[in-house]
Amino acid sequence: MKARVTVMLKAGVLDVQGEAVRFALGTLGFGGVNGVRQGKVIELDLAETDAAAAEAAVKAMCEKLLANTVIESYKVEIL
């Protein structure tokens, strides 16, 4: 079973990398971009066959390692 985790900075947390991308896009002529938020995607290949158990395990992984829950939020998708 596969899972995809999307991790993003929470609203209100300054996204320095996102601002750098926004600025770079502007210098390349893409002036209509008002904001950029950058995150990360983690894909996991799991041995688990039960979707509910897999989701619970991945959420535990996020809470312990994959996301800094103080400043980041995450979304888990079981594929």
> Residue 14: what pLDDT?
96
> Residue 34: what pLDDT?
95
Name the β-bridge partners of 43: 4
Range of the domain at 65: 2-78
- The CA distances from residue 47 to 5, 25, 69, 75, in Å, are 16, 41, 25, 20
pLDDT tens track of the chain, all 79 residues?
Answer: 999 999 999 999 999 999 999 999 999 999 899 999 999 999 999 999 999 999 999 999 999 999 999 999 999 999 9
CA distance 34 to 71: 22
Looking up tokens 């897999």 gives 54
> Residue 73: what pLDDT?
98
Q: What is the CATH number of the domain that holds 36?
A: 3.30.1280.10
Q: How many domains does the chain have?
A: 1
> Residue 50: what pLDDT?
95
